[in-house]
Chain A
Amino acid sequence: DVKVTQSSRYLVKRTGEKVFLECVQDMDHENMFWYRQDPGLGLRLIYFSYDVKMKEKGDIPEGYSVSREKKERFSLILESASTNQTSMYLCASNSGYYNEQFFGPGTRLTVL
C-alpha cells in the first residue's frame, strides 16, 4: 500500500520558534510538494521539489524554506513561526508531469 507519511498530526508551537515538518513517501516519486490549506482558500502551494537537493518556490513561499536531502524525504521549515502560519499543512508526491498526487494525512499546526 503506497504511503505518504507526515511526522505529526497536531503540533503547537510558540511565536518565534523554528518548526520542522517532515514528510516521507515510499513510492520512489521524484516530485514532492508542500501545501497549506486554509478555510475558503483551498490548497496553496508553498514549495515543491522535482529531485533530490532541488527546490522551487510555489505561490506562497514567504516565511518558509525546504530541504530535500533524500529522494523519499521532504522537509518544510518555518524559520521563525508566526501566528499567521497557523494552518493545516499537507505534503504530497507524484511522478511525471500529469499524474495524480498522493497526499499525507496533514499536520495541523497552531502557533501561539
Chain B
Amino acid sequence: AQKVTQAQTEISVVEKEDVTLDCVYETRDTTYYLFWYKQPPSGELVFLIRRNSFDEQNEISGRYSWNFQKSTSSFNFTITASQVVDSAVYFCALSEVSGGYQKVTFGTGTKLQVIP
C-alpha cells in the first residue's frame, strides 16, 4: 500500500531563514509521480511541482527547490529566504495507477509559519 509521511506537523521560522519540509513515501510501483501542493489560509490547494519516478534531477524555481532521492524514498522541499507569504500548509502527494485508476495519497501536511 502506498503511504506518504510528513513528520513535521508545524514549523515556525523567522523571515529570511531557509526551511526544508520533509516528505517520505512508500510504494511498490516503479512508475509513480510525486507532488507538492500549497494551501494558503484562503483554503484552496495550489499545485507547486510534479516529479516522476524516473527523473531524479533536483529542481529549482525561484526561492523554491526540490530534492528527490529514490534511495531514501524522499522528496523534500526547501524554501530559501522565506517570506510571510510562504505561510501555509504544504502537502506532499504520491500518485500511482492501481486497478486501472489513478490513486493519489496525500501526506498529513506541514503547517509553515513565517514570522516577520
Given known A42-B107, A97-B102, A98-B102, contact A106–B44 (CB-CB < 8 A): yes
Contact B47 A102 (CB under 8 A): yes
A residues touching B (Cβ–Cβ < 8 Å)? Answer: 31, 33, 35, 40-45, 48, 50, 56, 88, 90, 92, 94, 96-106
Contact A98 B101 (CB under 8 A): no
Cα distance, A39 to B8, chains bound together (Å): 14
The answer, among A41, A42, A99, A104, for a CB contact under 8 Å with B44, is A104
Cross-chain pairs A/B with CB under 8 angstroms, 18 sampled: A42-B91, A43-B91, A44-B106, A45-B104, A50-B102, A88-B43, A90-B45, A96-B102, A98-B33, A98-B50, A98-B97, A99-B50, A101-B47, A102-B47, A103-B44, A105-B42, A105-B44, A106-B43
Contact A42 B109 (CB under 8 A): yes
12 additional A-B pairs beyond A41-B108, A94-B102, A103-B37, beta carbons within 8 Å, are A31-B102, A42-B91, A42-B108, A42-B109, A96-B102, A97-B97, A99-B50, A100-B35, A100-B47, A100-B50, A105-B44, A106-B43
Task: Point out the residues of chain B lying under 8 angstroms from A50, CB to CB.
Answer: 101-102
Cα distance, A44 to B33, chains bound together (Å): 18
Residues in B84-101 with C-beta less than 8 Å from chain A: 91, 95, 97, 101
What are the nearest 4 A-B pairs in CB distance? A42-B108, A103-B45, A43-B106, A100-B47
Q: Which residue of B lies closest to A59 (CB)?
A: B105
CB of B52 within 8 Å of the partner chain: yes
CB of B9 within 8 Å of the partner chain: yes
Contact B52 A98 (CB under 8 A): yes
Task: Point out the residues of chain A lying under 8 angstroms from B33, CB to CB.
Answer: 98
**Closest-CB distance, B103 to chain A (whole angstroms):** 8
